[in-house]
Structure 1
Amino acid sequence: MTHQHHIDAIRAASARARDAEAAKQAAVTSARVAGVAWAEIGEALGVTRQSARERYIAIEQIAKAWKAVEGYLAEIGRGRDYPRSSADMVGVLRDEGSLDDADVLDLQQLLHRYSQGMLGETITVREAELLTDKAIPLSAKLFGLTATPHPA
């Protein structure tokens, strides 16, 4: 094997490891959102419950926050006979004044980091806390809109 072949093999193995980690993170997040216990997840990963929780808790927090927001956006859309994507619904709510630019930016950041986390990017607990702290009032605002008729 030449020097370059060794380097290429290392790069290929690293790419496979990143893909595997992303798939594992997505599977753990999906399991937690579905209510699977940390003990079961840890066992499946071959680590302790605590170890699994420490590794994946941040993306779980962001996933739960995004799922709540996404659910409210879908409910608002259904209530208005406007079954569009979450992004479309955010645009409609911004245009009518129900969401301001800061709300939209916070929603975009939440979705962006959720998407990155599901692709395997590490998210710190502190970052997850900051994002979920912003998501709580947004969720409350969206919840209030689920029962509010849209402006004519």
Structure 2
Amino acid sequence: MKPRATSLGIIMKENKILLEKQNKKHSKGNGIFYRPLGGTIELGERSRDTLVREFKEEIDADIEVKSYLACLENIYQVDGQVGHEITQLYSAGFTEKQLYEVEQFKVTEPGKKSVALWVPLETLWNEEFILYPEGVKEEVRKIVGACEEGERR
């Protein structure tokens, strides 16, 4: 496999984060895991534009990219195959506020069936909760910490 560049978006409401729920083989076994919405950056496409395009394609939602969070590098193995993903991670928000009231989104992608749903942050911190790529939990902790710091001021 060749390295893959991706762009993923973190959308939050209250004490929840929007994540895609998948059920298949992954680097920690076989079964359920979660990941922020987004996808592969196409040649000549900026990562911010990828994020906007992927949300439109996957859940038919328009978003605004709010801020750049981090670059995550994830090297993993599934069935003895090495994968290498470099991810541009952003904070984003829906342009249509009523989308924050939708409990579950059907994710449309060729050859894959999944849903995106609002996951409570306390669930995210559970040791058994599998979230990819590595490093996303730490970035969400930073966002939550910054929000809590702002509330104390």
- Higher normalized helix content (fraction of residues): 1
Q: TM-score with structure 2 length normalisation? A: 0.24
Larger Rg: 1 or 2? 1
- Higher normalized strand content (fraction of residues): 2
